[in-house]
A and B are shown apart, each in its own frame.
Chain A
Amino acid sequence: MELFFQLLINGVYVGAVYALYGLSFALIFAPTKVWHFAQGGIYVLAGYALYSFNVILALPLWAALVLAIALTSAAGAGCERLLYRPLVNRGVSHMVVVMASLGLFVVIENSMDLVFGPSGLSLRIDPQTPWLVSGVVIMPIQIIAPMVALAITGLLALMLYRTMAGREFRAAITNPELLEINGISVSRIKLYAFAIGSAILPVAALLLISGGSGVSPTVGITAVLTGAMAMFLGGVDSPLGAAVAGFIIGIVENLSVFVLPTAWQVSITYGILLLVIMIRPTGLFGRAVQKATV
């Protein structure tokens, strides 16, 4: 029983991080329809940004986070302005855009590897004292993370549904032509989508790193794939749905340790996701997308 709660706590923790991955990916995809696989590279960049500010420049953690958010947000916006926008304007096919994104992913990840080396690095974080609650070990970060994720998701929900900007954003998701007709710049909304979506990444990275994993160049794939899968499960047009889905994925992944050794976790998670694709090709909450349109 204690094992169950231990796994659940960890699941909630990891789920919070995955929720942020999903939120981030979906915020970008929904209005732009770009498969931003380079997101994995931006995520790696976020980790090393934290490291550079916190360890190399010896800034306090909160300052490092703020700066990392600024940097990552700019990098995300840079992707939109310098990579995707020019390509789309040239009229290349979707395939080519995705390939460029994959290329950028490879470049960023390996640049970090080149500069900082392949092994994991640590941030200057005070070691946490775990709590022991009726036989279950709880790290403070495991409680903080879901609260942070909830706060960010809540904040974004407020922005999306209570502000004018949010309404424009939602309109850009379903009906961009209508916006253009009314003189609202969809390309500006896309830029913000990339900026805000990317800004979430350093937070997610920090939450994960605080739990003991180091800053490393190979974490990008998991981040972007989990984010993309969460978006798929949560319904492509719904960033909030992606957050919920990411959370669920995290919990399921951890509870599956009951049945399988840890090394298999990730494979099983994606295996289950593929199964979901086969059973419900439109995702769990997604609206039906008809394959054929006449």
Chain B
Amino acid sequence: MPELELVNVSKSFGGLAAVSDVSITFGGSRITGLVGPNGAGKTTLFNLITGMYPPTGGRVLFHGEDITGLAPHHVARRGIGRTFQQVRVFGELTVEQNAMLGLPEVSDSLSVGLLRTGRGRDELLERARKNLEFVKLDHRASELASDLSYAEQKLLMFACLLGLGASTLLLDEPAAGLDPTSHGPVLDTIRQLGGRGHTIVLVEHNLDVIRSCCDEAVFLAEGRVVRTGTPQELISDPELGALYFGMVEGVNA
């Protein structure tokens, strides 16, 4: 059974069709890349999966269960985590506070909050630290998140995500805004997450990232799936190349 499945998903905003009749399956601890020019609908797909807005057609299935149109926090609890295109961390909180936020025990429950013992809190901190260790940010635990570099903040987003315990991870342009020397830690983290058994979907413009991380890739243009295959197959396809670069240079929708 595929872990995450899009079935004939469409989305229109006003008269504009952002996504048309897209069907993709993700699963089996694979890392899948979504590529395509700007406006191809990649982030829209993420938003549709995570419930930011409902699709105008089609369904989203997770472990066989129909999660179409579920609210974002429900989707997250079911086991789908995501990061955003822009770096979004809580600058006014410390790094370890940020990491703790992912944990399900940090919730809107008044009683849990009031009654938690010091030991309970230490246990949460411990788990948060482990996630920080994974992204190699534990030495900066007590600093404010706003004091971190851009690249470090991206890693912090991963640490938060880990706290959630999601099996499927949607990463929106993880390498965006990073110079090639900073790519390393981010890509390593993604590969390690894949190694841990997570199913990962990446949206990326940077073809090197796709080539080095992904097991397979899906090429999207104007809201439709154009081709699916290994990164190497897609990159060497001259038609796709023309489509990608042609559209990047021309006027995009």
Contacts and interface: CB of A to CB of B under 8 A. Distances in A.
Interface in B15-58: 43, 47, 52-53
Interface in B83-136: 84-86
A294 interface: yes
- By secondary structure, the B interface counts as loop
Contacts of A290: 53
Contacts of B43: 294
Category for how many chain B residues contact A = under 10
A292 B53 CA distance: 9
Category for how many chain A residues contact B = under 10
Contacts, number: 10
Contacts of B172: 294
10 contacts: A290-B53, A292-B52, A292-B53, A294-B43, A294-B47, A294-B52, A294-B84, A294-B85, A294-B86, A294-B172
A92 B19 CA distance: 39
Contacts of A294: 43, 47, 52, 84-86, 172
Given A294-B43, A294-B47, A294-B85, 7 more contacts: A290-B53, A292-B52, A292-B53, A294-B52, A294-B84, A294-B86, A294-B172
A294 B49 CA distance: 14
Nearest to A292: B52
Nearest to B51: A292
A290 B43 CA distance: 16
A294 B50 CA distance: 12
Interface in B154-194: 172
Nearest to A291: B52
A56 to B, nearest CB: 54
Interface in B128-149: none
Nearest to B72: A292
Interface in A267-294: 290, 292, 294
